[in-house]
Structure 1
Amino acid sequence: MLFRLKRRQTIAGDRAGNIAITAALAMPLAIGALALGVDYGSLTLQQRQLQASADLAAIAAAANISTAEKSAFDFFAMNGQSIGVVSAGGLLTTKGVVPFNPKTALEAYGSYAEITRGRYVPDPAQPAANRFVAGATPPDAVRLTLRSKSKLMFGASLTTPPALAASGTAATDKLASFSIGSRLASVNEGVLNALLGQMLGTTISLKAMDYRALADAQVNALKTIDQLALDLGLQSGTYADVLTTDINYGKFVGALGKTTGLTPSVSTVLSNLEKTLNKTKVMVKLEDTLKLGPVSQKLIGQSSGLSVNTSVFDLLSAAATAASGGKQLSVDLGTSIPGVASSKVTVAIGEPPVGSSYLAVGAPGAIVRTAQTRVAVEVVVDGLQAILGLKVRVPLYLEVAYAEGRLAGITCTGAANSATVDVDAVPGIASIALGDVDTTAFTNFGKDPRVTRADIISTLLLKVSAMADTTSTNLKTERLTFSPADISANRVKSTSVKNVLESLTTSLLSKLVVRVDLLGLGLGLPQPVISAVGATLGAAMTPVDTVLYNVLLTLGVRVGEADVQVGGASCRNPVLVQ
């Protein structure tokens, strides 16, 4: 009896076999979890394969947008995929075109693709989801959505396999080169030579006809970089390697003169200029002048056929301006301007705006800008008889904000290098004042210089002071459209056709406030003197306009206007964008 009791206690207290029992109870859960994991992994793999097919098919469809559906269907067929493509007449299948019903298509065919045409604008200012505009014309992109019935290995008996979907968006790879600068009109070689020489630390002696030849000549900037790379021994590098290298300005001019396509007369002018600049210590980095975007990463000489045409003069002046960024220049023009007894100019050039230049290569959204500029001009002219022929001093201060061009769109029209390009241009606004300005802190563009009343006539008998200011408020953005013919002809388009600088100086006179002190008696405003001063200043505006125009021309700046040129455009093989 005691033995049986002990045996019962032993059996009751025995714990052997508990793990096996627990494992047996948990096994169904473990097998279910494993089956779920396998199915999840299988679905993930199917989704990835579907996305890859959608992306590649979208590229194939974008290559022939007019027959996008057939191109996508042919792509699937060539890769052994039995996938139908929705078309206007029904569903394209290996058995021909059949009626399409989206409710039953997956059950009947397993997979099908839908194509939406539209336009894609890679504008960084727009959210990525808004860059593809369905239905926009003319189309240059497609969005292909691929739907497929999934397969479950274990869960099919418990639930309906979910439908999978993947979308790929492909667009024509579009690039354009464009620039913002100034055009030659009334050239005064004295002003251009003096200011350009001051910027480069040497003496320039070009003639007006030389400047016109340089302005009329067009050069492919990429060809110039190719030549420069050869001169520097960087042929095996990329365009970015040349752009980021410190280069002597004279060597840059030498490479420009060797660029193919220039006329002998222009090459001669550049060769003579190179000799003048051989001893200059001015160094330039072309990345401050040219922004080549994706082309900068290409090997030297491999620009994919894209032209980056620009005026030779614009390229020269932009490089000189970039090298002088943040500096202050003072030039005594003497009597080189007809109609003035003496003239002096002080110029401050702002640092190039971050991430922009006067010429750029890029997709829509790329920006080009001129430099912010300050100019103080002081001319002395002979007064009229009513003021005894006394010398009249005319001090003017001009501040020009940067002008901007933004690549708004590229419309491909079929051929690889045939496209229409839209540029949104905003002219540089300006304020102009008659008065004295403190130029000691001219280069501090974070502060506005103070303009004070100026003595324009100062003698023992007569003292006349004056002050005036006016501002150009033309801030309207204008869209400039360049056709393939415009691009081929290197046409320059402007936001305005009026002479804003002249209208500003004319407006300035209408706001003139003059104070006269005769014999130190403060006799108020004798009308004959006021009339003579006004007439003298009015006559002085013509030579003053000449000075201002040529100074700004050298810096690639125009007041109240923006001159834009598209140097080339390229529509290449489509790429995946979303």
Structure 2
Amino acid sequence: MSLWQRFRADTRANMAVLFAMGFAVSAMVSAVAVDAASLYHERRMIQNGVDLAALAAVSDPNAATALARDALVEAGLLPAGSSEGLAVTAGHYNPDPAIAPADRFTPGLAPFNAVAVRFGRPGALHFARGWAEPPTLGATAIASVTPQVSFSLGSRLASLDGGIANAVLNALLGTSVALTVLDYQSLLGARVDAFAFLDALAARLGVTAGSYDDLLALEADHGALAGALAGLLTGVERTAMLKLAGSAGQNGAVPLGKLFDLGAFGALTIGSGTGQGVFTAISALDLLAASAALGDGNRQVSLALTAGIPGLAGITASLAVGEPPQGGAWFAIGGMGTVVRTSQLRLRLVAEMAGSGALAGAPIRLPLYLELAEAEAMVGAATCPSGADASGSATILTRPGILRLTIGEVDAASFGDFNTTPTVGLAPLVEVKLLGITVLRVLASSLVEAAQTTPIPLGFSASDIAAGAVKTATTATMVSSLAGSLLNNLVLNVPILGLGLNLTSLTSLLKTILMPLTPTLDLTLARLLEAVGLSLGEADVTVYGVRCSHPVLVG
């Protein structure tokens, strides 16, 4: 037997040889497994760091690169001062579910509300580095933030004094308190934190637990509202509010959800929202006046006004305030699409004056009827605070209420019923009697309408918000003088003719008598509406702040 044959036939110690060979193979496999596990762990660490970098960068998209780099340095993924492998892009994220997830982020599109962070570096090999190149490990994250805008609609109180304001607010609040011009100015300038007010109101209502949304599901009378405000004020402001708190509460209750819509902040526990600062600092008088128009008590006001103008015997007015539509409060906090709305309003004004010329001695009675639909404001866009700005910026899409003003007699039974459309008939302007017999009866009608069909964008910069700027959207089709326009559109109906007058001369005579009084009528209409925070063909918006405190990962 040859040597080779004897070697092959000898089976002594073969297991040792096989074990040695298997150990070498398993060692190589184990080395690869350890490197693979290490790379997987390293990639997870990189992804976590990139996620944190995106969340940090979106807080200020204008400084996104620096913020992302600092976050990666802090996570130990980058050496200090280096940006190798890092790419940061600011853009706009649209959460519309109709858009494919991969297409929702648009790089470079303003307004910036999202940041994409990409980072890669070579992975670390421990056993395979002798025969393999280290792979590049990378991760991507997109973070978005929804700016939260706090804003309100319909403040017209800056120009109020006593008189009409006292009469209207007292009627709506169920009080009989005479506030001075100084009282109004003090209350208008007094700012209270919305959350501090709600905390004080919760204590008055005996609510000790739950969220702000739970509180907003309740009702409170005007006395409780004024009392909670008084507790947050000092000096002359507190004294003026205590006057109202002492006698208010006799005209129904206010559903608090019609005053406030806190958005995501509504889930906060009562007592934890205080400290938001200028973000929710609102006027005490604005809040109280808004509550007056939203109460569920009697919202009709009758006033007898003395104009003090020669030739004008007097003016009587009836004001009815309707509920705003569902889904919009007076003050709101929220992102794009958040809406605030004012109340609907009807106003009946009757002016009486003496005739002249051929109508000398004949009283002239001019009845005006006004319908003002609710105004609406919606957050159209917003950007987060950046740099030294304490607040961001916002664009509010505003639609003033549709206005319809007529000369005519309105049905008193349906005047305050906002579920029906009142019947407006011809108005008897002049009635001349001779020996108890009507010899001349002039019926009149006229109509002026103004509507803003497309929203008007109102831009609020950070400096506007810091200054407490109030911006006004004005209906583009608004006329300069409503009463004057009504008279220009005057249509007469004279079923009984007399005194030798024809329609042309009669129309001219009536315009000659009435036209000098139109500025007074316009002013009276405006002042009555101001007392409930509204205006003819206009809508006022105030933005209190923009915050971006809850960034989220979206990709």
- Shorter chain as denominator, the TM-score bin is 0.7 to 0.9
Report the 3-state secondary structure (helix = DSSP H, G, I; strand = E; otherwise coil) of the residue aligned with 1:215.
helix
Matches within 5 A, 1:242-391: 242-260=215-233, 264-277=235-248, 280-299=250-269, 300-303=271-274, 305-306=276-277, 307-324=279-296, 329-331=300-302, 333-339=303-309, 340-391=312-363
**Corresponding residue of 1:408:** 380
Question: How much has 1:561 moved relative to structure 2?
Answer: 1.1
Distance across 2 between alignment mates of 1:265 and 1:305:
25
Provide TM-score, normalisation by structure 2.
0.76
Contact 1:62–1:142 (CA under 8 A) maintained in structure 2: yes
SS in 1 for 2:143: strand
Is the 1:60–1:72 Cα contact (8 Å) retained in structure 2?
Answer: yes
Is the CA contact (8 Å cut-off) linking 2:60 and 2:386 kept in structure 1?
no
Q: How does 1:118-517 map to 2 (within 5 A)?
A: 118-120=91-93, 132-137=105-110, 139-144=112-117, 168-172=141-145, 174-184=147-157, 187=160, 189-234=162-207, 236-260=209-233, 264-277=235-248, 280-299=250-269, 300-303=271-274, 305-306=276-277, 307-324=279-296, 329-331=300-302, 333-339=303-309, 340-411=312-383, 412-415=385-388, 417-445=390-418, 447-460=420-433, 461-496=439-474, 500=478, 503-516=481-494
User: Secondary structure of 1:459's match?
Assistant: strand
In 1, distance between residues paired with 2:93 and 2:326? 27
2:545 maps to which residue? 568
User: In the alignment, residue 366 of structure 2 is paired with which amino acid?
Assistant: V
CA–CA distance in structure 1, aligned partners of residues 458 and 98 of structure 2: 20
Contact in 2 for aligned 1:121/1:409 (Cα 8 Å)? no
Deviation at 1:97, TM superposition (A): 7.1
Partner-residue secondary structure (3-state), 1:480: strand
**Cα distance between partner residues in 2 of 1:353 and 1:127:** 34
Answer yes or no: is the 8 Å Cα contact 1:227–1:255 preserved in 2.
yes
- Structure 2 CA distance for partners of 1:250 and 1:524, relative to 1, 3 Å: same
Give 2:461's aligned amino acid.
Answer: S
Work out the CA distance in 2 between the residues paired with 1:73 and 1:186.
52
Structure 1 alignment gaps of length 5 or more? 1-44, 83-91, 101-112, 150-162
The structural deviation recorded for 1:360 is 0.9
Instruction: Name the amino acid aligned to 2:442.
Output: V
Kept in 2, the 8 Å contact 1:495–1:563? The answer is yes
Alpha carbons of structure 1 residues 47 and 463: separation in structure 2 relative to 1, 3 Å: farther
Q: Work out the CA distance in 2 between the residues paired with 1:330 and 1:252.
A: 21
- Give the secondary structure class of the aligned counterpart of 2:529: helix
Gap regions ≥5 residues in structure 2: 1-40, 123-135, 434-438
Q: Following TM superposition, by how much is the alpha carbon of 1:335 offset from its aligned partner in structure 2, in angstroms? A: 3.9
Choose 113-122 or 390-399, whichever is displaced more.
Answer: 113-122
Contact 2:369 2:407 (C-alpha < 8 Å) held by counterparts = yes
The more displaced of 136-145 and 284-293 is 136-145
After TM superposition, give the deviation of residue 418 of structure 1 in Å: 2.7
TM-score (norm 1): 0.73
Cα separation, 2, equivalents of 1:219 and 1:124: 38
Is 1:558 the equivalent of 2:531?
Answer: no
Q: CA RMSD in A?
A: 4.0
* CA distance in structure 1 between the partners assigned to 2:320 and 2:457 by the alignment: 30
**In the superposition, relative to structure 1, how do residues 421 and 522 fare at CA in structure 2: closer, same or farther (>3 Å)?**
same
Correspondences of 1:62-73 after superposition (within 5 Å)? 62-63=58-59, 65=61, 68=64
> Residue 364 of structure 2 contacts residue 429 of structure 2 at CA under 8 Å; is this kept in 1?
yes
CA apart distance, 1:345: 2.8
The answer to whether the Cα contact below 8 Å between 1:122 and 1:365 also exists between their aligned partners in 2 is no
Residue 149 of structure 2 aligns to a residue whose secondary structure is: strand
Task: Name the % identity.
Answer: 34
Provide Cα deviations, 1:327-351, integer angstroms capped at 9, x if missing partner: 65141x2243434434333333332
Deviates more, 1:228-237 or 1:265-274: 228-237
What is the CA-CA distance between 1:570 and the residue it aligns to?
Answer: 2.2
Number of aligned residue pairs: 494
Instruction: Give the CA deviation at 1:486.
Output: 1.9
Residue 415 of structure 1: how far off its partner (Å): 4.4
AA at the equivalent of 2:54 = A
Q: Deviations over 1:373-405 (max 9, x none)?
A: 222222222333441132211111111122222
Query: What is the CA–CA distance in structure 2 between the aligned matches of 1:199 and 1:491, rounded to whole Å?
Result: 27
- 1:540 paired with 2:540, answer no
Does the 8 Å CA contact 1:121/1:132 hold for their aligned counterparts?
yes
Alignment of 1:58 onto 2:54: yes
Q: Name the CA distance, whole Å, in 2 between partners of 1:123 and 1:231.
A: 42
